[in-house]
């Protein structure tokens, strides 16, 4: 947790390993998704399509390595993430029914009451569940197609290809929407791709349940998560 006098106390929301993993997703999943659409639609010449396929494989490699390293070195974060995305209550249902207030705010310019959230809102939980299962399926089917296409039964590879395509299209569209909303919530975007900290006031606004129940003050009037320690 860091503290900046000009902005008041700040809370460490995303530790370094989680931020590095998100960079791995940006550098891996995004190129794989964009090239995946091009592989599906095939709008270019054969030479260009071959280049696109190579980029697709490189992106998939970065994504796979990022997931493996995060699981090994950030296993505690993986467990915490899994617990959060599967922790739902009445507030989550109410949040989903109004879309977190985003349609009203973005389309109508109206702010409506939104149920208080923990560290993740219900939309982020839903996205997390889709990325967890969808990502595993994409990685498994993708590498199976890469490694076994010439030798595996054609029927099996056909269904692997179809599953890879459908889930890839769905997750690709979801990720683009996720990026849009992330940029729309600029403070959260800077938190994830910056130093991982967020002003306590902003955290109280977006994640009041998390602030109330999970963060605690540490030396110097700073704020931190239970079990986390300052560097040095």
Share of the chain above pLDDT 70, in %: 91
Domain ranges in the chain are: 3-224
Confidence at 3, pLDDT banded by 50, 70, 90: very low
pLDDT at residue 219 in the model: 59
* pLDDT value at residue 107: 92
Unique residue bearing structure tokens 């919530």: 185
> By mean pLDDT, which of 3-17, 39-53, 91-105 is the weakest?
3-17
pLDDT value at 173 more than 60: yes
Average pLDDT over residues 214-228: 60
The predicted pLDDT at position 180 comes to 94
Task: Work out the pLDDT band at 215, boundaries 50, 70, 90.
Answer: confident
Under CATH, to which class is 3-224 assigned? Answer: mainly alpha
Q: What is the mean pLDDT of the chain?
A: 91
């Amino acid at each position: 947790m860091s503290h900046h006098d000009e902005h008041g106390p700040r809370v460490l929301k995303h530790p370094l390993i989680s931020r590095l993993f998100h960079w791995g997703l940006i550098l891996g999943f995004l190129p794989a998704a964009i090239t995946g659409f091009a592989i599906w639609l095939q709008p270019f010449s054969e030479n260009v399509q071959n280049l696109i396929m190579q980029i697709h494989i490189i992106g998939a490699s970065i994504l796979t390595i990022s997931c493996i390293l995060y699981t090994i070195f950030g296993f505690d974060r993986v467990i915490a993430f899994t617990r959060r995305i599967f922790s739902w209550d009445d507030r989550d249902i109410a949040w989903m029914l109004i879309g977190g207030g985003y349609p009203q705010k973005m389309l109508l310019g109206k702010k409506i009451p939104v149920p208080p959230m923990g560290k993740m809102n219900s939309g982020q939980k839903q996205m997390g569940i889709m990325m967890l299962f969808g990502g595993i399926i994409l990685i498994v089917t993708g590498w199976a197609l890469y490694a076994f296409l010439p030798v595996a039964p054609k029927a099996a590879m056909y269904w692997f290809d179809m599953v890879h395509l459908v889930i890839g299209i769905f997750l690709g569209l979801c990720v683009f929407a996720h990026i849009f909303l992330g940029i729309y919530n600029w403070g959260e975007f800077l938190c994830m791709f910056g130093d991982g900290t967020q002003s306590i006031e902003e955290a109280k606004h977006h994640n009041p349940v998390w602030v109330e129940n999970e963060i605690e003050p540490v030396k110097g009037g700073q704020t931190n998560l239970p079990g986390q320690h300052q560097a040095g």
